[in-house]
Amino acid sequence: MATFLLRRLGAAVVLVFVIATMTFLLMSMTGGDPARNILGDGATVEQVAAKSAELGLDQPLAVRYADWLGAAITGDFGRSWFTNEPVMTSLANKFPVSLSVVVVAILVTALLSAILGVTAAVKRGWIDRFVQMFAVLGFALPNFWVALILVTVFAVNLKLLPATGFVPFATDPVRWLLGLILPVTALVVGTIASTAQQVRGATIDVLRQDYVRTLRSRGISHRSLLFRHVLRNAAPPALTVLSLQFVGLLGGAIIIEKIFALPGIGSLAVNATLQGDLPQILGLVVVMVVLVVIVNLVIDLLTGWLNPKARVS
């Protein structure tokens, strides 16, 4: 188990490094003149050159990369070109909001799609057809459109839930939760739809296995068979799907945050994109990838714990 863990950890570090490097090179090699971009058309050539020197853009690419990487390892992604705020500070301010949304969404997805998917696989009948139809619906409806409908119905017309705003958990847990209901609902419609479908498939696969029949022949109760044996064997593929959903949710949250005016990474990302704020975007990408890698690592460990075979391979 220790070697399994170490190997996964090593692969994760390599992955983060490669993506960070790729993003840096991609973003530094293309694009026109960032200094001109920042100062606007009115600036003189001298001003632009001075700005370039200030930002270190007159250095060769290799030097810039080495500088950036050296600092990034210590958690310093430099300062925003436009607000001059340290990138890490703004990320530290914004990420908790987005993570609130994404983590609650992934938990809700895991719980509901497990219930729906397993029930559909075991009972079949109408609930099975519902899960299948829901899968198409959830795929077809963009989550930001669902969010718009939810806002219109529940916030604008019925005035049941807040349309905008975020209250930190520490300030008021109840209002934190109320504020999350609509954004999370909008996000999970799609993820539950596809995850439940995958859980259903995985469960049906396990139910067809020979060992399930043999376990039944041993007189094991239906409950024990389902909750102990079937769920455990169906869990690894479902967990893999869940980790992919997490990646998707990080992107989805950016759009959803605009609708609910949540002060998360969404506005940060959009503004940095529109302005071409390189350090900000690089920091954002790296932190996101680190998050994704951590989640994948956790899922890998869970899979290894559930499935003894995965530990060796």
Contacts of another protein in 113-132 (CB under 8 A): 132
| Secondary element (H or E) of residue 183 | helix 173-207
Do residues 155 and 162 lie in contact, with contact meaning Cβ atoms separated by under 8 Å? yes
In angstroms, what is the minimal distance from the CB of 52 to another protein? 17
Amino acid at 269: A
Q: Quick one: how far is CA 6 from the chain centroid? A: 24
| Site for another protein, residues 208 to 237, rule: CB under 8 A | 208-211, 213-221, 224, 228-229, 232-233
Give me the DSSP letters along 270-307: HHHHHHT-HHHHHHHHHHHHHHHHHHHHHHHHHHHHH-
In angstroms, what is the minimal distance from the CB of 312 to another protein? 8
| Site for another protein, residues 254 to 313, rule: CB under 8 A | 254-255, 258-259, 269-270, 272-278, 281-282, 284-285, 288-289, 292-293, 296, 306-309, 312
| Site for another protein, residues 1 to 40, rule: CB under 8 A | 15, 18-19, 23, 26-27, 30-31
Sort 190 into a burial class: Cβ within 10 Å, 0-12 / 13-18 / 19+: buried
In angstroms, what is the minimal distance from the CB of 173 to another protein? 28
Q: Which is nearer to another protein, 104 or 288 (CB)?
A: 288
Q: Which is nearer to another protein, 89 or 273 (CB)?
A: 273
| Site for another protein, residues 135 to 194, rule: CB under 8 A | 135-137, 139-142, 144-145, 148-149, 151-152, 156-157
Encoded tokens for 33: 């003149």
In angstroms, what is the minimal distance from the CB of 146 to another protein? 8
State the Cα torsion 21-22-28-31 to the nearest 10°.
-170
What lies within 8 Å, CB to CB, of 211 at 6+ separation is 229
The 84-113 contact track toward another protein, x by CB under 8 A, reads ------------------------------
| Site for another protein, residues 59 to 78, rule: CB under 8 A | none
In angstroms, what is the minimal distance from the CB of 73 to another protein? 20
- Closest by alpha carbon to 291, among 120, 98, 118, 138? 98
Residue 252 within binding range of another protein, rule CB under 8 A: yes
DSSP state of 253: H
Q: Which is nearer to another protein, 26 or 63 (CB)?
A: 26
Q: Which is nearer to another protein, 2 or 29 (CB)?
A: 29
- Closest by alpha carbon to 267, among 89, 90, 146, 82? 90
Q: How many CB atoms lie within 10 A of CB 267?
A: 15
- Phi, psi of 42, deg, nearest 5: -75, -15
Q: Which is nearer to another protein, 41 or 46 (CB)?
A: 41
In angstroms, what is the minimal distance from the CB of 33 to another protein? 12
